[in-house]
A and B are shown apart, each in its own frame.
Chain A
Amino acid sequence: MSAATPARRGVADLPLSWATASEASRLAGVLGGGEARAAAHAAFHALPTESNLLFTGYVDLRSADTHDTALLTPSSTISELPASELPDGAAAVISISARGVAAHLGAEARAAGLTVEPLSGETPLAGAESDRMTALIAAYWGCGIQITLASGTIDAPIVIKVESPAQGEALVARIGVTLGDGASATISEEVVGPRGVQETGRGAQARALLAASSEVTLGTGATLRFASIQELPEDVVYLPVRRHSFGTNAELQIAVAQIGARLVRGRIDHQLEGNGSKVQQVEVVFAGADQLHDLTTYSLHAGEKTVGDLLAKGIFAGKARGFVKGVTTIPRSGRGTNSYLGEFGMLLSKTARSVAIPSLWIDQPDCERAAHGSSVGPIDENQIFYLRTRGLTEAEARRTIVMGYLEPVVAALPLEEEAERLREVLAAKLDASFAAQSAAASAA
């Protein structure tokens, strides 16, 4: 099964020795969905990595050394986690890792009727026919869960912990979330490295693969608050695909922080089909060293009077690259749309690179707002000066300014403890990048 890695590879190649028809059919034997897997397998091999012609110049998967990884097929049964694993203040905890899926539902979650079940093999994954990474997940997923809240409200967050596999392994997972009419819930997702495995340090290539879908379906008037903090070790290739479909007046507040991983190629789709549906998205990207974050958000305002309010803020240090892209589409049916897309970047080093491509595609003149804005700027020296006159050192001043720049995103996280933890993670990463920068400066 391990053919040699191709000697030459294009920037958009993603060599995977296990992406074969027989592997898709083997997985269908274990988890079901034979036809869909076969179609997705064909699509994965037929589609270009980037099918959107606007973005083809901005693909680079060369740091992914995933050809010889072993594709994991954890047990499909969901085992019970001990109650001690339930974080304080959480309604439920679900763990997805190389070991399989385990969960523990607290009293509130059980009383509200929350269910966590293995995902049916027949569940279609929309977008697999047109997006290559979605096709990858649809063809080769080895682990899937379905979280359902048919009605009612769960105030406390449902915590989902997703662990990347170890070096040399690949984990492909699907997470379905369905909220019925009027249901309301909060999900807090933590994407982290494998438990008990020390980070092997940063190599030239990333040798672990985590590809995961998050398929959210919101019924009429359903409300979901969703936060995801990604802190993967820097030997991981992370391919998240998020697809959100909205019923009438459904509402999603989503906050995503991308901190770790060597290479992230992520796609978010908001299908605002229900009239009056609404999405508010905040995204923070902090990349240093030789990390590459390639993130695209597609918003389709198909329903009437839908609202999209999307804000991305990126910090790029070291030799990091950030490709932050967005497409807002307002078809003829999307009367009264209110849509804003903001992409803002800050470069902390001369070798970092920030690319922003916020696109609009508008067919309906009757829109309340259809706008985007983006900016890239350095840390304002006047602000540093001001803070220094207030007694801060230059390093403290820089840190304060960057943290202030990211704070609107951090503050959007549903759990205060999470926000606090994210602040700590960001501050630590910031200090490390300042230290690396001054070391580089003194070496020069």
Chain B
Amino acid sequence: MDFADLAALGIHDVKNRLAALAVRADARGDGETLRDAMDAAASLSRLLAVYKDDQGRLAPAIDARVPADLLEELTAETARMTPLAIEAELAAAPGVGYYDEGMLRMVLQNAVHNALRHARSRIVLAARAGDGGLEFSVRDDGPGYPPEMLGAPLAMHPASREGSGLGLYLAARVAALHASGARRGRVELANDGGAVFRIFLP
């Protein structure tokens, strides 16, 4: 058994423990611990995803999904972790979108966790149809991204507001892996009354 296999087993084990921890915290209404446990598990998932990507094995399983469902779940889950207001804007959401739901969940969870660190009072998740595709966004009312991060960080390398920076790097990778014909997905960072994270999928 090589190190990669051992690491995968280890990650699996830790995620299971974090899952149990999250459930206990959730059951007693301890949002802060819930958030830490979920965040730690998400961080391991990202690590595994980057490893898979390096091996050329990060392939999206794109299918027809309901964007509103994904955002509803993220909103409900996050609401248990924070006193901040968290909302989903679904009025312009298309009924069906085409993406790998597991990957998008990972990317958006990361964006939401970043927003949780910086928002003053409110986070808004949105999905809307446009430009022949689907756009998910996570918007907070915090101080916004530092100027050097704005724009379309396509060649994004690990470096970000906090943490290891794997989150944004992976977001860009996941977007790029979502292709339709010649068009590929992309990530955009902007400031508009706070930080706005957008991922566009063709």
Q: Do A and B bind each other?
A: no
